[in-house]
Structure 1
């Protein structure tokens, strides 16, 4: 179904109303609604606003509701969770305006509309925000709040949020597995990639959880259960009481290179003095050959989408993780062939120095080198804009996202918007929708949206993007958009092959999980989830390059841009 259409939208500003005709996609409709919310806040978001100011804000918000109620926008919202949620946000803003101006009956009218939208995420605000004190004793307020709590109890698994104990009851263990099974059965977007009989897997694991003798052991089984989905955005997380037992690592990092495991980064002076340096090979862990240890002790618990993603999770992220109280015994070999055993404490990364910043820029000759290690903080967009003058002075640009595990796709698109002078396509996506009457899943499809060019700044020189198996999630969304617009070459290794929209839920004993409920692809439908995005120029890591401190992918990019 075509999701790009032309509708008339009222755009308001202080003291001025103009009528504009705009092409609307779900993303643009979302922005229109957000802009109207921002315009309304200019009137009421101040210390002690007067009634006329609140009324002006309400007028803008009423136009926002009328806009969101347009049939065309309502249709767009069926394929966009972000757009669909804006209506309850606007109502919440309106409730604030009415409350600030002491129009409590109208505030309660809006509160009931919020309830009909099913938005229970602000229950704590209704219960604790001093703004709502005048209405809390009102029967209408209490009845509406009660209805929201009942809805939350149905969908947010509050009854399953039992407290941590060293060994949960059999009932709690069965309930936890069951909620994992049901959330995946009705919401998981990638069953076509996992290739398993989910109901049979559930029955098999019921017996396994019943036989666990501790909460730690139980959560290991749950992690193994969700690992069967073969999806990097569907994971089980233990209670915080078990974090030290599950996730503590020694202060160095490792990687699988040419079928062997090597230290790649070291964060401890004492370990450096003991001879452990980048390029040191790990031969065994606690008496087991390192590859055997990885395959038997680590890999079964990793939720991954592709073989390259599994290698990263097994031999980089999780290989040495374990109880903080238990040191690990390593057999090591230096670059000169010396072998020795070393007991290494899992102390974490407490002595890490010079941690990589989210974004940094430097020039290598006339080539700009922009490293973006995550898309997690909106400040990255401002930092990029502040660097643009320096970037624009270069004759070519390398964007390095090899260690970018994702975050918000919009941050990456913000960067791409300065690399073009016309709109570019983002990913196509679809979300599963369970239809009880047919006992099956249909799909809400969201065609690839156009993202506007920056318009104020435009880098028109050659660009290369460096990628690797650690390029993941929102960083892959960035790669898809860059690749599809044919802006430049991709150099490095195939990406992790996992993105989507996971949602979180609670588990007994204080743990949690998430399930991926959105499947993404290239704008033309080309798949990369479960596959990865292959580079135009493949540059594999070698032991020789590691030990010589050589970055072959970067050197390849520099040669290309310096031609």
Structure 2
């Protein structure tokens, strides 16, 4: 009998404790909703969070003790969020932030080095720290931190390993982080771009206004997909073809796990079929659409409407590069069928196309293909395709009427030898490029690092005309090689706008197991002209036409052959 009473007593106690715990959990949850802004926030809250973001990032990269990792700076941010959001006015917020900074370890001062204007490409964007109307006496503290003595050799947060910023905590789980960690992701990325993106001055919109725009988007993201799309949208603001997100299952599902078996490209402003993919284990694939046909709508949505929707989430240094990227997934879907309206021989037709899982479709790369590295074409004209996956070494002796170097690809550098320093092309050394890189001692400063030279004195250099072919596929390393080859004597570039993203790629880990990428080094012509966004501008512009695609012609290559024969 006594056991029964004990059992009842324990059951009642458990029920009471559960209710109390539930009550406290609900209270805590509601408090969190009100404090962290999961649902309830206003313009003042957004402004306060933006100020916190800027100060947190500035101190992260400028305060010596924080730079050296003496504080868990992510945790400091998480702890400050609810406090800042509870502040009733600007003065209260600034006082709280001022006390926070005052609690950090003191530091020595250092005289900033004299900067020669001709050596600087971009100065740090620090005017905001002088705004005493917004920051009050907090401004003085930030000014003092600006001139702190920093040991960049002990920098915790900007460590490059395999082109990855390796000093950041990863937070891989959960893949849909809670609000404060979503904001941490935004603040981390915003500040890396603020201080270590070489082309911040080319961002089309004000980066500070972008912060105010994206704080609500990161707060309001209701699930993993919305969170990752918010990141993609933010990345797209950089206007950088290097920018993007590492392979992510959620985004791949959003793009579509199936694909209609066609390669498409934007030609003359229209979506044109440029190839038909083979489908594994399928005999009766529907190929009623043919090469040269123009796709007008997909599932009754006009192509131009799809472009407008996808551009928002498709990073690119220029519109041409964005279209190239969109073309790679515009025919993807999660359905097994796709209704397509298209134009064939001037007639508007429609069809239902079967779609297949990506692993069943033999999707050919735009960047490389299995082709001979070097061959003679036409009337004794050399043709060098640096995207060849067959491998080999570029020829060191050539006896042809001219040489065409096809850089409408990404060079297969792991398979091809001799092309990086192709001495055969140059009669004498020529300066072809200069770089800028970030500065841990003075974050946000980008200075020129010096120039690089191609070639050397070579009386046996190839004297014939050299024509370099480029288009929107020519990106990064391919653009760099185009710059390098173009300074060779008797060379000319023909084709169309390149991707406009030269230099290397830096990656950054974000909460939720996400990796984002962007350009890490500035690349310029010797006279300081831009390559980012602009790309490699051809001397003669030649673009494919829809008619040429229908006829199976390579009009850019044809023009190159014509120029060589005309000169001869």
SS in 2 for 1:357: coil
Residue 325 of structure 2 is matched in structure 1 by 313
Query: How far apart are residue 339 of structure 1 and its match?
Result: 0.3
| Cα distance in 2 between the residues matched to 1:117 and 1:209 | 28
Q: Distance in 2 between matches of 1:300 and 1:271?
A: 37
Q: Would the alpha carbon gap of residues 424 and 309 (structure 1) be closer, same or farther in structure 2, given more than 3 Å must change?
A: same
Distance 1:335 1:537 in 2: 30
> Paired residue for 2:548?
545
Question: 1:179 corresponds to which residue?
Answer: 188
- 2-structure distance, mates of 1:504, 1:435: 21
Question: C-alpha deviations, 1:248-299, integer Å up to 9, x for none?
Answer: 4433221111222111111136687531221121111122101111112x11
Q: 1:335 aligns with which of 325, 345, 360?
A: 345
Contact 2:424 2:461 in 1 (8 A): yes
Q: CA deviation at 1:116?
A: 7.0
Change (3 A) 1:412 1:446: farther
Q: Is contact 2:277–2:364 with CA below 8 Å preserved after alignment?
A: no
Change over 3 Å in CA distance of 1:207–1:225 after alignment to 2 = same
Tell me, yes or no, if the aligned pair for 2:524 and 2:531 is still in contact at 8 Å: yes
Relative to structure 1, the CA distance from residue 405 to residue 388 in structure 2 (aligned partners, 3 Å threshold; closer, same or farther) is closer
Contact kept in structure 1, 2:273 and 2:293, CA below 8 Å: yes
Check whether the contact 1:246–1:322 (CA below 8 A) recurs between aligned residues: yes
* Matched-pair contact (CA < 8 Å) for 2:268–2:545: yes
Q: Are 1:372 and 2:372 counterparts?
A: no
Q: Distance in 2 between matches of 1:413 and 1:313?
A: 27
Residue 117 of structure 1: CA displacement? 9.8
Secondary structure of 1:559's aligned partner:
helix
Query: Does residue 285 of the first structure (1) align with residue 295 of the second (2)?
Result: no
Do residues 428 (structure 1) and 434 (structure 2) align? yes
Q: Distance in 2 between matches of 1:202 and 1:444?
A: 26
Does structure 2 retain, via aligned residues, the 8 Å contact 1:396–1:461?
Answer: yes
Displacement of 1:190: 0.6
Indicate if the aligned counterparts of 2:409 and 2:478 stay in contact, CA closer than 8 A.
no
Partner residue in 2 for 1:225: 234
Matched, 1:301 2:310: no
Change (3 A) 1:498 1:373: same
Specify which of 525, 529, 532 is matched with residue 529 of structure 1: 532
Residue 203 in structure 1 maps to residue 212 in structure 2: yes
Change (3 A) 1:346 1:417: farther
Q: CA deviation at 1:405?
A: 7.6
- Which SS does the other structure have where 2:393 is aligned? helix
2:484 pairs with one of 467, 472, 481: 481
Q: Which residue of 2 aligns with 1:7?
A: none
For structure 2, the 5+ residue unaligned runs are 1-118, 121-152
- 1:88-147: per-residue Cα shift (whole Å, max 9, x none)? xxxxxxxxxxxxxxxxxxxxxxxxxxx979898899xxxxxxxxxxxxxxxxxxxxxxxx
Q: Given that residues 172 and 514 in structure 2 are in contact (C-alpha distance below 8 angstroms), is that contact kept between their aligned partners in structure 1? A: no
TM superposition score normalised by structure 2: 0.64
Gaps of 5+ in 1: 1-77, 80-114, 124-151
Match of 2:453 among 450, 453, 463: 450
Q: State the secondary structure of the residue aligned to 1:533.
A: coil
Distance apart, 1:175 and its partner CA? 1.9
Please name the residue that 1:73 is paired with.
none
Larger Rg: 2
- SS of the aligned residue for 1:503 comes to strand
* CA-to-aligned-CA distance 1:403-428 (integer Å, 9 cap, x gap): 338979x9786263321243332411
Change (3 A) 1:417 1:348: farther
- Once residues 548 and 522 of structure 1 are traced to their aligned partners in structure 2, the CA distance between those partners, rounded to angstroms, is 38
Q: TM-score, normalised by structure 1?
A: 0.64
Cα pair 2:502 2:531 within 8 Å, conserved: no
Cα distance, 1:227–1:122 mapped onto 2, change above 3 Å: closer
1:264 aligns with 2:274: yes
Cα shift at 1:237: 3.1
Asked if the contact 1:412/1:475 (under 8 Å) is kept, the reply is no
Instruction: Supply the distance in 1 between the matched residues of 2:329 and 2:460 (Cα, whole angstroms).
Output: 41
Matched, 1:462 2:465: yes
> Is 2:404–2:469's contact at 8 Å kept on the other side of the alignment?
yes
Q: Which has the higher helix share?
A: 1
The equivalent residue for 2:166 is 156
CA contact (8 A) 2:427 2:488 kept: no
CA distance in 1, matches of 2:506, 2:192: 10
Change (3 A) 1:321 1:448: farther
